[in-house]
Copies of this chain bind each other. A is one copy, B any other.
Amino acid sequence: MKQNIDPKLDLVLERHAAVSPALVWKAWTNSKHLSQWFAPKPWTISKCEIDLRPGGKLEFVMRSPDGQLYPNLGCYLEIVPNERLVWTDALLPGYRPSAEPFFTAVLDLAPDGKGGTNYTAIAIHRDEDGRKKHEAMGFHEGWGQVYEQMIEFIATNKL
C-alpha cells in the first residue's frame, strides 16, 4: 500500500540515486551486502541475518567503535522486489508482538525514468515521543550517511 505520512509521527529521508532500483534492492536484501554498508562508519555490523519473506527474520547487531553491541530483531512485512520493502521491530519473526516496539520502516523505490531511483525511507513511530527520540538519536544523519555508504558500496562492488 502507498504509505501515508504523518509529519508528527514519521521521519522521512528522500534521495535521488543514479543507480537502478534493482541494484538498491540487491544491496538492501542480501545480508552479505547489507552488513557492509548499513552501519554508519566507524560503527560496523557484526551480525546480519535476512529471511526475505513476510514474517521472516531481519536481525542485525550494530557494533560501536569501542566494541559495544546493539542487537536489533524484527520481521519483514511487505516485499515487492525493486519497489517496496517494509519491516518492523514491533513484531518478532513469525509475527510475535515484541517487548520493545520502536518503529516500522518502509523503503520505497521508484524508477526516475532515466535509469536511476527515487529513494524514500520512512520511519513510522507509535507516538510523537518515539519520533522525537529517533530524531534526537540522529535519524537523518545516520540514514543519510548509510545511504551514501550504500551508493559507494554498489559502485565499488559492481553489484
A residues neighboring B (CB under 8 Å)? 1, 3-4, 9, 53-56, 77-78, 86, 88, 90-91, 94-99, 101-104, 106, 124-127, 130
Contact = CB atoms under 8 A, between A and B. Distances in A.
A1 B96 CA distance: 13
A78 B79 CA distance: 11
A101 B94 CA distance: 15
A52 to B, nearest CB: 11
Given A1-B54, A90-B90, A91-B90, A125 B101 contact: no
A3 B88 CA distance: 18
B126 A96 contact: yes
As for how many copies of this chain the complex holds, the number is: 2
A115 to B, nearest CB: 29
Contact of A97 (B86, B90, B96, B106): B90
Contacts of A130: 97
Nearest to A127: B99
A104 B54 CA distance: 14
